[in-house]
Amino acid sequence: MKVRVTKICCAVAGACLAVQAQTPAGSFMLKGGTIHTVSGATIENGAVLVRDGKIVGVGKNITAPEGYKVIDVHGEQVYPGMIDAASMMGLDSQAEELKSDADEMGLFNPQLRAVTAMNTASEHIPASRANGVTGIIEMPEGDLISGQMSLVHLDDSGNNQEMTVAPLVAIHLRFPALTIHPLRPLENNDADDDPADPEPIPYEEAKKAYDDKMSALLKFFDDARQYQKEKAAHAAGFQLDRRFEAMLPVLEGKTPLFVTAVREQEIREAIDFADKQKVKIILADAAECYKVIPEIKAHNISVVLGPTFRLPINPDDPYDRMYTTPAALQKAGIRFAIASFSARQSRNLPFQAAAAVPFGLAHDDAYRAVSLSVAEIFGVAKQMGSIEEGKSADLIVADGDPMEVTTNVKMVFIGGKPENLDTRQRRLYEKYSGNPPKQQ
């Protein structure tokens, strides 16, 4: 009898181990919550089935396969994770005397990839993740062409390569501008320690700087096209040039230029430049895009707006100019996203989007501007941005609307992996409030 019982127990244990072995990692079901798909209808009392880090089922009548963990989220709200469309997270220096890793030296650096310098131990990563931001487009800074932009997951793997989802989604070009009154950088737009505006630049000096940069930009594109021809023709004496090699996807129309053009004149010139060079562009931080809406629409160009929480760039602008621009683009049928353009402000991304809602932008469109629209603009909509079958399980579970400051994000999954929501701010709060730190 004892032998028989032992054999039965061993058989049951073996069956359990077999089921566990057959259940892929990152496989579970969120059941009972309100599913905000973003790409389609909201599903009350729905479920999201995840297998091996991918979404394989979304709806009401879904049954989890044997061995899958079922997570009860009744009463909770389930959204796709947010994506910051322009971030320098992990590239800023903690020491004031050191130069930021986001800033590259030289006019042209299309071969450089910012994500390789990203500090994966930055405290801004868990702070943003705990607020529902699961991905960023890492953006280098520089003079003209500063480098390659990458799509990055904000998971806690601590490995740049593992966190990188798409190594090349765009190349950043800061379009030359005839600047007499420089704008304060977005990173310091609301800084209390430097309230003064930058000093004006004499016109002759500004004009010369503009002409020199435009000439250099046009020559660089001419040289890149000549390199493209020589490579295709297997010309004698052809030598590899990493800068021009990085430009080939742009010249072939496969990779867009992410063109920072703030004022109306810069935007118009950037559009004309793209037409003549026959390249795709995304307008970035285009604060005065509302003045060029017909041209942007006619050329089917997407726009990545900067933060809404900032002052208008012109003294005589309406006070709410930054709040109303998203609605103006939406009304015109122009695809747009909202981004931080910062190393430290991705955690506030949902609130930047929410600020446009009282000024005419529909609530659903506001969340789309920090999720699916970002994925569409950078060509990764088949991979993420919404809760749909086949996409990465980048999910957040919250007790309310993630764009409300009173909402608590309770769970975050990136690629189907549950993430730790502990942050430095939470640890400091618990330390000084007299409450012992909670185990995650």
The alpha carbon of residue 160 and the mean position of all alpha carbons in its chain are separated, in whole angstroms, by 16
Task: Report residue 410: phi and psi, to 5°.
Answer: -95, -35
Task: Report residue 124: phi and psi, to 5°.
Answer: -70, -20
Question: If you average pLDDT over residues 278-287, what whole number do you get?
Answer: 97
Mean pLDDT across the chain = 89
What distance in Å separates the CA atoms of residue 241 and residue 265, rounded to the nearest whole number? 33
Q: How confident is the model at residue 205 (pLDDT cuts 50, 70, 90)?
A: confident
Percent of the chain whose pLDDT exceeds 70: 86
Among 82, 76, 81, 83, CA closest to 47: 76
Question: If you average pLDDT over residues 378-387, what whole number do you get?
Answer: 97
The per-residue pLDDT for range 40-53, each reduced to its tens digit, is: 999 999 999 999 99
The per-residue pLDDT for range 252-263, each reduced to its tens digit, is: 999 999 999 999
The per-residue pLDDT for range 283-300, each reduced to its tens digit, is: 999 999 999 999 999 999
Are 284 and 377 in contact by the 8 Å Cβ rule? The answer is: no
Asked whether the predicted pLDDT for residue 268 surpasses 80, the reply is yes
What distance in Å separates the CA atoms of residue 392 and residue 68, rounded to the nearest whole number? 17
At how many degrees (to 10) do helices 242-251 and 203-232 cross? 90
Q: Of 68-72, 221-225, 373-377, 425-429, where does mean pLDDT reach its minimum?
A: 425-429
Q: What is the dihedral of CA 395, 401, 404, 407, to 10 degrees?
A: -70
Asked whether the predicted pLDDT for residue 88 surpasses 90, the reply is yes
DSSP 60-125: SS--PPTT-EEEE-TT-EEEEPEEEEEE-TT-S-SSTTSPPTTBPSSSB-TT-BGGGG--TT-THH
16 Cβ neighbours under 8 A, 6+ residues apart: none
The per-residue pLDDT for range 397-415, each reduced to its tens digit, is: 999 999 999 999 999 999 9
What's the pLDDT at 33? 97
Question: If you average pLDDT over residues 113-131, what whole number do you get?
Answer: 93
What's the pLDDT at 428? 83
Q: How confident is the model at residue 76 (pLDDT cuts 50, 70, 90)?
A: very high
Q: How confident is the model at residue 204 (pLDDT cuts 50, 70, 90)?
A: confident
Q: How confident is the model at residue 182 (pLDDT cuts 50, 70, 90)?
A: low
Between residues 186 and 30, the one the model is more confident about: 30
The per-residue pLDDT for range 148-179, each reduced to its tens digit, is: 999 999 999 889 999 999 999 999 999 998 87
Asked whether the predicted pLDDT for residue 439 surpasses 80, the reply is no
What distance in Å separates the CA atoms of residue 165 and residue 172, rounded to the nearest whole number? 18
